[in-house]
Amino acid sequence: MIVRTLVGFVGIPIIVGIVWQGFPLLPLLVMFASLWGIKEFNRLAQKAGALDIAPFTLLLTFLFVVNSQFSNNNYSTIALFGICLAIPIISCVLDPKNKISLRTVFLTAIGPIYVGFLLSHSILLRELGDGILYQGREWLIYTILVTFSTDTGAYFAGRALGKHKLLVAVSPNKTWEGAAAGLLCAMAASYGLCLMLDIPITLLEQTVLGGLIGIFGQMGDLLESCLKRIAHVKDSGSILPGHGGLLDRIDSLIVTLPLTYYIVITTQI
């Protein structure tokens, strides 16, 4: 627990500093996280039945991040989605050893989308607006810190107070008490960060958005836990002391980043 806490205290200020600075450090950080994340995802997915076509998944993940920084139009994004789906199908057709099935195609195709496309929303969120209607830098810091507050609150409250298991088959250590604490921490962090970062939304909007991030962040955690259970592994990797793999630390952010981005651009809050 001490190592986990120290990693958080050191890592979070560095990440916030990179977000504040923006280009080129942020795209480089996102690129590293995406490529390392797809590496870990490939390891899990292949144990669960995905094809071993790592060069293609790495390339597609790379292209999703590049697309978010330099292009970000619907046509290029749709094309990348199509390629993600086409490559495993073609691989199965060309190589008789690869048995084509919906499970195989899905697990192979979803990696670059899950890691590269969803995580690249951090760049899209950072680049939003002119600082008046939108505050991209502040929104990205807000999303990261509210998400980390959710994870931290759920973890420590679950260890101290957790008695009622949430989903034993998916994640044996998670409890309802931890989930509730994570949600409360998300809403409290939302309120505090909106004041600190001068994000001009109402108290009701702060509460609702914080609650949504708290809920979806924990769903993202459970989603990655499902994959680990299918692959029969405890952690996605070991790059972060006290946390496991990189995916184990950013699985919530992978979901909350696009959530915040689409809420902001559709509601113009």
Q: Write down the pLDDT at residue 100.
A: 74
Q: How far is CA 1 from CA 65, 147, 190, 207, 261, in A?
A: 33, 19, 25, 29, 32
Distance, CA of 23 to CA of 10 (rounded, Å):
21
pLDDT for residue 169 is more than 90: no
Distance, CA of 191 to CA of 63 (rounded, Å):
36
Q: Write down the pLDDT at residue 231.
A: 87
Provide mean pLDDT across the span 120-129.
91
Q: What is the dihedral of CA 237, 243, 248, 250, to 10 degrees?
A: -120
Collapsing DSSP states into helix, strand and coil, what is residue 174?
strand
**Confidence bin at 132 (pLDDT 50/70/90):** very low
Q: Write down the pLDDT at residue 201.
A: 93
Q: Write down the pLDDT at residue 151.
A: 94
At 182, list the tokens: 């994570």
Q: What is the pTM of this model?
A: 0.91
